[in-house]
Structure 1
Amino acid sequence: MKIEITILGLLMEENLYGYEIKKKIVERLEDYVDIKFGSIYYAIKKAVDNGWVKRVGTEKEGGNPERYIYQIMPAGRKYYKKMLKQYFDHTMIHFDIDIVLMFYNSLMPE
Structure 2
Amino acid sequence: MVTVALTPLGVTILGLLCERTMHPYEMYQLADARRGRVVKIRPGSLYHTVSRLEGEGLVRTTGTDRAGNRPERTMYEVTDAGREALVHRVSDMLATPVPEYPQFPLALAEAHNVDAPTVVELLRERLDHLTREIDELDTAAALACSTEIPRIFLLGNEFLVTVARAEHEWLSALVADIDSGALPWLSPELVERLTHSRRIPSGSAKD
Answer with 62-71 or 25-34: which moved more.
62-71
Match 1:28 to one of 30, 34, 43 = 34
> For residues 24-63 of structure 1, what are the alpha-carbon distances to aligned partners after superposition, in whole Å with 9 as ceiling and x for unaligned?
0122111222222211001000111111101012012455
1:36 and 1:91 mapped to 2: Cα distance?
A: 27
Which residue matches 1:95? 163
Which residue matches 2:113? none
Which residue matches 1:10? 16
Which residue matches 1:80? 86
> Which has the larger share of strand?
1
Q: Which aligned runs of 4 or more in structure 1 are off by greater than 6 angstroms?
A: none
Structure 1, unmatched stretches of 5+, are: 101-110
Quick one: percent identity of the two aligned structures?
27
Contact 2:58 2:81 in 1 (8 A): yes
1:58 and 1:42 mapped to 2: Cα distance?
A: 18
Contact 2:24 2:47 in 1 (8 A): yes
Number of residue pairs aligned between Structure 1 and Structure 2: 101
Contact 2:32 2:41 in 1 (8 A): no
The one-letter code matched in structure 1 to 2:30 is K
Which residue matches 1:37? 43
TM-score by length of 1: 0.78
Partner secondary structure for residue 18 of structure 2? helix
Shift of 1:4: 0.6
Structure 2, unmatched stretches of 5+, are: 1-6, 99-158, 170-207
Q: Could you say which structure has the greater relative contact order, defined with CA pairs below 8 angstroms and 6 or more residues apart?
A: 1
Answer with 32-41 or 11-20: which moved more.
32-41
The one-letter code matched in structure 2 to 1:59 is D
1:66 and 1:51 mapped to 2: Cα distance?
A: 23
